Structure 1
Amino acid sequence: MNIVANVYRGGILESSHRGHIAVVDASGHLLYSYGDPHRLTFARSAMKPLQTIPVVETGTADQFVFEDADLSLCCASHSGELRHRTRAMGILERAGQGEELLQCGTHVPRDEESYKQLIRDGRELTPIYSNCSGKHSGMIATAVHMGEDPATYHLESHPVQQRILDAIADIMCYPKDEIRTAIDGCGVPVHQLPLANIAYGFARMAKPDVIEKEARRDAVKRITEAMMAAPEMVGGNKRYCTDLMNAFEGRLFGKAGAEAVYCIGDKATGLGIAIKIEDGSPRATYAVMNEVLRQLGIGTDGALQDPALSSHTDPEVLNMKGQAVGKIEAHFQLQQVREKVPVVKN
């Protein structure tokens, strides 16, 4: 049944989550799997590091003097903290654009204090609070730099989105014309690929020397290093992405995606890891990823014991009073395989 996690209440099994895992190396070999490693999957926001590639390749990041934290924010599903909002606004201002151009919509930010302050001030939510405002700001800046219409940057036919599609097909070695697209929660195209190819893409980003195009190779290196240099921008306070990269100190870069997707690139081994929880529930995602790392021997010498990161291992189930009444436990064993992920030159 490919169960990856069980949920216990009072020590009694209450629910289970099925899932799929792929672990691929930078030469394109599927080394470990669980469930269906070839499941067609929308990686959702886990694609953001790849969606940021054109920001660097086009010269946009240099034109508008992007710091590491700016590039990291372009890869983010941030919490809407002040530091996130301020930096997203800074990107727009340097590109000569206003917040009204953002097409990401809005939602209550994960950072409760920011939302409470908004209410106290009598102000309404705006798109800058969206967890995707950094990505969208980078897209707008790219359109401005390239002399394209920044008001329609979100449309699939726009050159901004076509450059992203090209980068995804190239990095993940998957036929461009076979990548199915839909619309993500923030209003831009989202891309569906086999889980193993998604993992392969993260492996290639972890070992960018395998990427043929020099400009793309340099862009990937700059982006992943920026994520690890400013992990607080990728997530925020008490967020797994931030906790993971802080604990591994320049070794791992990771990105969550909606509907329970998580992807990691390991700079030390060149491994790419992609997981998908079948029912889309995020509550088991991080416990499963920590267990994948443990089974691979990644971080078992200390990083997985980091207090912030280890809090995501077997997390407690809390009641409305904040009392622990159960826990979530990862429950699977990776299967060792060695098969080649099909490689396609676009």
Structure 2
Amino acid sequence: MPQISLAPSDSPLAQAPVVAEVVRNDFVESVHHGVVAALDRDGSRLIALGPVDAPILPRSSLKPLQTVAMLRAGAEFASEELVALSAASHSGEDFHQEGARRILDAVGLDATALQNTPSRPLDDAAAREFIQAGQEPTALAQNCSGKHAGMLAACVAADWDTGTYLQADHPLQRLIVEVIEELTGEPVTVTTVDGCGAPAHGVTPVGLARAFGRIAGAGEGTPERRVADAIAAHPEWLGGTGRDVTRLIAGVPGLIAKDGAESVYAVGLADGTGLTVKIADGAERARVVVATAALRHLGARELGPEVGRVLAELDAEAVVKGHGQKVGVVRALLG
């Protein structure tokens, strides 16, 4: 029989510790490796599990930073809901799509200016209606349309070309890199293409946590404060009806959060604490329970009597089923 050998992975994620277990009838069926980083306002490390200083791709978790850049470029939004939408990976519900239209209408553009990848809504009910109506995938329904509309609004405000806004050397994209480097406190060393076609930048979990702490704890009158306040006040515009990120933001006073593809979760607390969770294999089922465990470790339950209930409700959804019944859980291993 031929021997099989495996080439060693040179990714730091290959060395990440186990942060969650999938348990079926008290038997550990699977494990998830991951990275968890948390910093306080002064930069002291409160949690450091795994390769926290090696770059990851935060994907959509960078959207609040991108929205800060849009505001610095002069983008104007008619309401704070639309600021939150510009930082969203929205579910494609009617109000999300209409909001993206409003951003475009205000700067004299329409949906044909969007260059994000056409898709159907993420929300199950909205997607069913979409299909039943015979609609083809559209850029407006895709979860990044708010971000792309906001980018176009920034380009119009700054008198930058709207036809090339996704190119890495475009003035807006260069400004976004500057903002990411400023808020994370580190250089961007990795740039790829995101699922929606926009540049996707790599930063470390420590840097991402630092950025979210800085946004959540920003001073009045700053673009960072405006982004944080919009997200905290309108989480359904950042996520969607019933989404875990929506419920987490709504349930913890002063908290902002943003989920990202390949199982990234970034969180900022009002006191300037920042948190990053990255599940190494990209499986989303472990992301929330690791994030809630980290928030408990950081003392989130002290923020109010309802916080513990919200965290417990989110954990309770991470179930393992057998014949339609709960027979186990996905549980975090953070002590």
TM over 0.5: yes
Tell me if structure 1 keeps the 8 A contact 2:19–2:334.
Answer: yes
State the match for 2:212 in structure 1.
Answer: 202
The verdict on how the C-alpha distance between 1:329 and 1:108 changes in structure 2, with shifts beyond 3 A counting, is: same
Distance 1:317 1:196 in 2: 31
Tell me if structure 2 keeps the 8 A contact 1:6–1:15.
Answer: yes
State the match for 1:317 in structure 2.
Answer: 320
Distance 1:318 1:278 in 2: 23
Q: Which has the higher contact order (CA 8 A, sep 6+)?
A: 1
Moved more, 115-124 or 283-292: 115-124
Give the superposition deviation at 1:119: 2.1
Would you say 1:134 and 2:146 are equivalent positions? yes
State the match for 1:234 in structure 2.
Answer: 238
Tell me if structure 1 keeps the 8 A contact 2:90–2:96.
Answer: yes
Q: Determine which of 53, 72, 75 is the counterpart of 1:60.
A: 75
Would you say 1:255 and 2:265 are equivalent positions? no
Tell me if structure 2 keeps the 8 A contact 1:48–1:135.
Answer: yes
User: Structure 1-normalised TM-score?
Assistant: 0.87
Matched letter for residue 198 of structure 1? L
Distance 1:86 1:289 in 2: 31
Tell me if structure 2 keeps the 8 A contact 1:3–1:332.
Answer: no
State the match for 2:229 in structure 1.
Answer: 225
Moved more, 33-42 or 161-170: 33-42
Q: Secondary structure at the match of 2:175?
A: helix
Distance 2:263 2:328 in 1: 21
Tell me if structure 2 keeps the 8 A contact 1:291–1:313.
Answer: no
State the match for 2:37 in structure 1.
Answer: 22
Distance 1:43 1:122 in 2: 34
Q: Equivalences for 1:103-118 in 2 at 5 Å?
A: 103-118=115-130
Tell me if structure 2 keeps the 8 A contact 1:290–1:304.
Answer: no
Tell me if structure 2 keeps the 8 A contact 1:205–1:221.
Answer: yes
State the match for 1:38 in structure 2.
Answer: 53
State the match for 1:337 in structure 2.
Answer: none
Q: Secondary structure at the match of 2:314?
A: coil
Tell me if structure 1 keeps the 8 A contact 2:21–2:31.
Answer: yes
Matched letter for residue 26 of structure 2? G
Tell me if structure 1 keeps the 8 A contact 2:120–2:138.
Answer: no
Q: Secondary structure at the match of 2:222?
A: helix
Tell me if structure 2 keeps the 8 A contact 1:25–1:203.
Answer: yes
Distance 2:324 2:162 in 1: 45
Distance 1:110 1:60 in 2: 26
Matched letter for residue 137 of structure 1? A
Summarize deviations over 1:60-113 as a string: whole Å, max 9, x none: 22xxx4311000001111111111111011111111111122111123322122
Distance 1:71 1:189 in 2: 20
Q: How many corresponding residue pairs? A: 318
The verdict on how the C-alpha distance between 1:88 and 1:322 changes in structure 2, with shifts beyond 3 A counting, is: farther
The verdict on how the C-alpha distance between 1:274 and 1:145 changes in structure 2, with shifts beyond 3 A counting, is: same
Q: Which runs of 5+ in 1 are unaligned?
A: 334-346
Distance 2:296 2:162 in 1: 44
State the match for 2:328 in structure 1.
Answer: 326
Matched letter for residue 100 of structure 1? T
Tell me if structure 2 keeps the 8 A contact 1:228–1:253.
Answer: yes
Q: Equivalences for 1:100-179 in 2 at 5 Å?
A: 100-175=112-187, 178-179=188-189
Give the superposition deviation at 1:312: 2.0
Distance 1:112 1:322 in 2: 20
Would you say 1:181 and 2:191 are equivalent positions? yes
Give the superposition deviation at 1:5: 0.6
Give the superposition deviation at 1:161: 0.6
